[in-house]
Structure formats: C-alpha cells, structure tokens
Structure 1
Amino acid sequence: MPRYALQVEYHGGPFAGWQRQADQPSVQGAIEAALAKLEPGAHTIAAAGRTDAGVHATGQVAHCDLLRDWDPFRLSEALNFHLKPLPVAIRACALVAEDWHARFSAQERRYLFRLLMRRAPATFEAGLVWQVKQDLDAAAMREGAAYLLGNHDFTTFRSSICQAASPVKTLDEIRIEAVEGPSGHELQFHLRARSFLHNQVRSIVGTLERVGTGAWAPEQVREALEARDRAACGPVCPPEGLYLAGVGYPDDPFA
C-alpha cells in the first residue's frame, strides 16, 4: 500500500482546527473527504501537528495510504479539485517509504506569528493577523524573548489542557522581525523547535506583547518562565495571526 506525503496550506478561519470532529468542519476531515472521492471508503490521515481553530498553515505536512499507485502530481491535482471551494490546498505531494510518518519522522516545526500594528481596522488582512492599535517596542520584546531560548520547563506557557507528557521543551529559535506588510507595520515572530506544547506559541507572543507595550519589563519574562505557573503567563493572543510555516525532516520528501 503506497504512502504519500502531502504539503498542505490552509486558511484556518472556517475550521474548528486540524483534527477531525464529528459535528464541526476540520481540515483533516476535508482532506479525508477528498480522498474518498478518489478511492471510496474511509480514510485516516496523520499530520505533523494539530492546529487549533482559526490557526493557519503554509507548510503543514500529512501522510495518507492509498490502494493504487498514484503519480504524486496527479494526486495533488485531483485532491485540489475535490477540495474546492474550501480554503485548503495541497502544495506538493511525494511518494514516501511505508514507515515514513508525518509526525514521528519530523525533526522540527516552524511557526510564524504575524502582528499588525495600526489603528484603522484591518480589511484585506482581517483574520490573517493579530491587530494591535499601537506601535510596540521590538527591541524590548527581543530582550524578553531571549530568556526563552534553550531547554526549559515551559509550564507557564502551556495550556491547562495540554496532553504532552512533559512541559520541558527546547526552543531553538525565536526571532522577531519588523517588516512592512501589505497593510502596514508588522512584527513577525519566527519560532522553531522539535515540538511545541499546546498554546505555547500564542502564550509566548501574548506575553511578549505586554513587554512591547511597556506593561512588562523584559526581565519579567524570565520571572514568568521560572515561576512554572500558568497564572504567571501574560494573555494568550488570538489564533488568527498564527501559521504552521514548515516541518523539517532528515530527508525532505518534497525536495
């Protein structure tokens, strides 16, 4: 039974998240329904990570097992045809080994968070960024973010419903870029780790926003981290600015 890796892009707005749900639309459910149009029957796909409601992806990766041998390009084209008009696209498809796994073979995940700074309501970028009305101090936010790099107990930045076995994670990169986006001044947060806790990125960005406004000193990020207490975290920011931007593997199946 051939196995195929899928690189998936989606707008998270219409979905209750990646994971299939009985009574709500999901990205997983949409792709599995498209697969059933190609090969009738039940399909179960696995992904590199489960994104929450409203979270987007430009580089999610999933895998599926099919009965027949498909040309990867034709498979991606057929899936995209049956996914219309949903905001989900298969950007690339590759034949992989039978023991290759979208989640367990992954070595790193990369997230992007977009924060738009302007007073006027966002129009074209609505639902794609977190908008705040004032400029933020990016230098102070970078100073605060530096305390989070490396291996730590991230209990403070972990959702109370997180199912991870341990709160200890290694954050390999957290980079904050000031860019001129299509709708104005943006701060873009780039985070990279082997794996993340539930709501870890949104908790980190929400806390750093407090530093950017001057409500927190940068050193308070370290104090929050060392507290190992969810109550010490800043506000959890909304999901619409968050993107699963990429997943790294020992051998890139889409290269």
Structure 2
Amino acid sequence: RYLIFFQYIGTKYGAVKVPPHQLEKKGVQDHLEDALRRLRPLNPVSLSISSRTDRGVHALSNSAHFDFQRKNDKPPFTEEILVEALNFHLKAEQIVTRAYRVPDDFHARFRALSRTYVYRIALGVSQPAQLPLGERDMCWNLRHRELDVEAMREAAAMLVGTHDFSSFRAVNSDMPFRNPVKTLDVASIQPGREIPFWELTFQSKSFLYKQVRRMTGALVAVGQGRISLTKLKDILESRDSLAYPHNVVAPARGLFLTRVDYRES
C-alpha cells in the first residue's frame, strides 16, 4: 500500500472520478488511476482520495492511497521510482510530488490528522485583466479595496473551536451520514503578497461540504459590513444550512487545499 501526494489546478478538473457519460471531463482520480493501470498491476486499481475538492478548487497537496501488486514476484516499487513512473505516464499532467510505503490498514482519508485550506482574495481589481496572468482563476477578485479586516478576524475567532457547523454546509447526498460537529483549529487572516491580497487559512481534521467557501463568504460579508458579528453568531448557533444567507458563498477559484497531515510513523 502506498500513500501519494499530488497537486493540481482545479479549473481544469475536480479531484474525484467523474460519471462515465462525462469522460471528456476527467477528474484527477481518473488520470491517476489511468497512470497506475499503465504500470500493469496484478490487482484492480482503486484510488482512495483523502480530500474530495470541488471542480474549481485547487490543491497544492492532496493525498490518496492505493494497493499495488507487481507481476512475476517482482519487488515493490521504491517510492522514488513510483513517483517517476506515475509522472511519466501522466505526461503533461505531472502532478505527483511524493510517495510513501504505508501499512496495509492505512487509510488516506481517515488517518489524516488535519487538513489546511487557504482562500486567496485580491482587492481593488475591477477587471480580470488587471491581475497577473498566473493569478487569474486562482483568487476571488473583489472590486473594492476596503475590508474591515479586524472585524473579520473577530468573526473568524468566533468560528474557532468545536461547533455544530450545519449552517455552513451545503446540502448534498452525504448530508445524513456526516457529523456536522467539527473542531476548527485555525481560522486566520493574513496579508498576501504582490498586489493587495488577503489569505484566509482554515485548519481542521475534516470539513463539511463547501464549509470553507461558506465560512470565507461570511467573513468577507462581515468585512464589507453586510453581516454583523451578531448576525454571524446567530447563523452559527442556528445549526441550519437554510440560515446561511443567499449569494454569500465564496467562489471555488480562490480556494487551495495546501496540506493534509499525518503522523510521521
């Protein structure tokens, strides 16, 4: 069993497999499994991804595990050779950064200690052409230069800790099976670089569907004076996804999964 880390630009594809009728829009999982099949394992190829990012959300470091049995009693691939071989077969999509041999009971999703997301916001950008070419579709560009960052930090502090985050999740098919109580370890707001950027960082063992984009949208609305701190507290304490305001969710393009952490052992 191997654990691999990989990166990708979410505007090109999401993390997980796409339905068969959409194969012209392959997900990262499809590309990785195709590359694994080209290495001709004896066992069926099945990749378990730790973090299921939406299309449009980027990853600097997502992770997944899989089993791989070689033919003719050949020794297992070394970690370095596996990375090289996968990237060779991925061709233009050379996205695998690291690989590790792990115990047979290891699970990339359930063994993760924490996940860290960073949401990037550009201020004072009235036209996409004003952004550097490499930043387009990689941030949420807001026309106005002013955000009440101190109010946003005060609001972010309200979200830190263990809460029922039902108000900050979007409805999906997994909703009845996912515990809405999460412990948010970090919610910080720091200045970015180059043009006026702010970076919002969130860290937790796991997140609900679209939780980070909803928290970001709410914090920006606080910074713009559209939501008060009292209103944010009411939203959090209502524990109801319908209490979340309409048209406040941050777009996918500014969100990056930056870390999935495990125990060194």
User: Quick check: TM above 0.5?
Assistant: yes
Residue 52 (structure 1) shift:
0.7
CA contact under 8 A between 2:57 and 2:253: conserved in structure 1?
yes
1:165 aligns with 2:172: no
Paired with 1:64 and 1:139, the residues of 2 have a C-alpha distance of: 44
- In structure 2, the residue matched to 1:194 is 205
CA contact under 8 A between 2:140 and 2:254: conserved in structure 1?
yes
- In structure 2, the residue matched to 1:19 is 16
Q: Which residue among 77, 90, 98 is the counterpart of 2:84?
A: 77
- In structure 2, the residue matched to 1:56 is 58
Q: What percent of counterpart residues are identical?
A: 37
CA contact under 8 A between 1:145 and 1:221: conserved in structure 2?
no
Paired with 1:118 and 1:45, the residues of 2 have a C-alpha distance of: 42
1:128 aligns with 2:138: yes
Report the residue type matching 1:90 in the other structure.
V
1:38 aligns with 2:39: yes
1:149 aligns with 2:160: yes
Paired with 1:177 and 1:206, the residues of 2 have a C-alpha distance of: 16
User: How many residues in Structure 1 have an aligned counterpart in Structure 2?
Assistant: 246
- In structure 2, the residue matched to 1:174 is 187
CA contact under 8 A between 1:138 and 1:178: conserved in structure 2?
no
Residue 26 (structure 1) shift:
0.3
3-state SS in 2 of match to 1:38? coil
Paired with 1:166 and 1:206, the residues of 2 have a C-alpha distance of: 22
Paired with 2:41 and 2:144, the residues of 1 have a C-alpha distance of: 52
CA contact under 8 A between 2:5 and 2:64: conserved in structure 1?
yes
1:218 aligns with 2:218: no
Residue 106 (structure 1) shift:
1.1
Deviations, residues 146-205 of structure 1 (Å, cap 9, x unaligned) = 111111111110111162422111111101101224xx1111111111110000000000
Paired with 2:209 and 2:173, the residues of 1 have a C-alpha distance of: 5
Report the residue type matching 1:64 in the other structure.
F
1:227-238 to 2 correspondences below 5 Å: 227-234=238-245, 235-238=248-251
3-state SS in 1 of match to 2:109? coil
- In structure 1, the residue matched to 2:29 is 28
Residue 82 (structure 1) shift:
1.5
1:109 aligns with 2:115: yes
Q: Which residue among 180, 190, 204 is the counterpart of 2:215?
A: 204
| Unaligned segments of structure 1, at least 5 residues | none
Give the 4+ runs in structure 1 shifted more than 6 A.
Answer: none
Paired with 1:66 and 1:228, the residues of 2 have a C-alpha distance of: 43
- In structure 2, the residue matched to 1:9 is 7
Residue 90 (structure 1) shift:
0.7
3-state SS in 2 of match to 1:97? coil
Q: Which residue among 86, 93, 98 is the counterpart of 2:104?
A: 98
CA contact under 8 A between 2:41 and 2:69: conserved in structure 1?
no
CA radius of gyration, larger in = 2
Paired with 1:245 and 1:75, the residues of 2 have a C-alpha distance of: 22
